[in-house]
Amino acid sequence: MTGRALYKAIGSPKTIVAPMVDQSELAWRILSRRYGAELCYTPMFHARLFATEEKYRKNMWSEFDGNEDIDRPVIVQFCANDPEYLLQAAKLVENKCDAVDLNLGCPQGIARKGNYGAFLMDDWELVRKLITNLHENLSVPVTAKIRVYDDWEKSLAYARMVLDAGAQFLTIHGRTRDMKGQLTGLANWDILKYLKDNLPEDQVFFSNGNIIYPNDLQRCMNHVGCDAVMSAEGNLYNPGVFWTETNEKEKQFPRVDKLLREYFEILREYPTDANKHAMKAHFFKILHEFLNVHKELRPVIGRTSVHANMDDWDAIVKQVEAAVAKIYQQDDISDLDVIKVGEDESWGGQYREVPYWRCQPYFRRVDGEKQNTRVLKIAASSELANTNKRKTVDEKAEPVDAKKSKTEPLAATT
């Protein structure tokens, strides 16, 4: 199937778990679907290693991945710079996925060193060959995930080339290649709208960037006119970011003890190498705000190996459950356990004040200041955004300067 027919065949998903290195593995995909994710991408796999090294492949892919009953729809993502290795890798999974995606968006140093991801933005002919080779030789469709340039017209030409090469879905991250780490800043929904409006009317278009809370999903869809919205970091810290069926706080901001137990039981049911490898990172992200209060648990998690007996990890889950149970023994818990919605902010949304025992977005601290109080650059624009309009003029932070500041972004890689 191609384009719109494929999109309809997989249920016309609106909420998408992004491909993330070692972080969107099977167990996390299963959990995310329970909280509203309708389409999931695998982690980014290295095509050459996947095609040629059995150990690497075993560490990344199991008999359960792509299973019709528990893991669909799913799109398998590869990074690559060799059309033949990419095809060989894709052939190994084409019968257990709904499409194969080419990563053209990874901005990290390892991608620069390996010449893949966003660094292929400098070699359009190679990008075309990678996509076309899959399009002509796979039994499943090809999709692609890209970033924007500062130049809007160049971004549009690039997107058109990717589609002409054979990509059926197009996911566009509204940040440039340089926007990472200290320079991440804010994704630009205006350029995403411009691209959507100037691509073929029936093109399946996914947006990525600036998703912090569930209501941001519809805001993004309304602004861009996209078919669906993808989230990476927002989903990692709170799978409930995808829950839009109701306003239940147990779904949108689940208690950390309940979510951790749910995730852990999935791990026990599917103890694959990839699931176990990612376990510690997920524990830390689920509990990130909780651990700022219950600091005694941080070293316990840190020194427990992902190869340890599962009973050792179960003991950690039980410690979290016991700590949260004490919280709910407080007489005024009904007054404490509420989600407070803030004012409209200049970036278009509203911040939430969420109890520390519930999953919530992560805002990095630099020199004691959270990144939701900074002035940040907007991608593909000369504009700056004050991420908290309630600060007075005298209190506003200076714009981010990579040479002078260690600033990291609002919801950095969402």
How far apart CA 403 and CA 182 sit, in angstroms, is 9
The amino acid sitting at 303 is R
CB 172 within 8 A of CB 129: no
How far apart CA 401 and CA 182 sit, in angstroms, is 8
Six token digits for residue 204: 């399946």
Using CB atoms within 10 A of its CB, is residue 402 exposed (0-12), middle (13-18) or buried (19+)? exposed
Buried-state track 5-37, b at ≥16 Cβ within 10 A, e below 16: ebbeebeebbbbbbbbbebbbbbbbbbbbbbbb
Q: For strand 74-79 and strand 350-353, is the pairing parallel, antiparallel, or unpaired?
A: unpaired
The rounded Cα 174 to chain-centroid distance in angstroms is 13
Could you tell me which residues are beta bridge partners of residue 205? 170
Torsion angle (degrees, nearest 10) of CA 3, 172, 164, 94:
-60
Token look-up 């078919």 returns 227
Token look-up 């909420």 returns 15
- Please report, for residues 61, 320, 345, the alpha-carbon distance to residue 20 in angstroms, rounded to integers and kept in the order given: 14, 26, 29
CB 87 within 8 A of CB 48: no
How far apart CA 18 and CA 317 sit, in angstroms, is 26
Six token digits for residue 117: 């991801």
How far apart CA 110 and CA 63 sit, in angstroms, is 29
Q: What is the DSSP string of 11-37?
A: T---EEEPP-TTTS-HHHHHHHHHTT-
Catalytic residues: 106
Nearest C-alpha neighbor of 80 from the set 109, 49, 124, 52: 49
> Beta-carbon neighbour count of residue 125 at 10 Å?
8
CB 19 within 8 A of CB 231: no
Nearest C-alpha neighbor of 132 from the set 83, 93, 202: 83
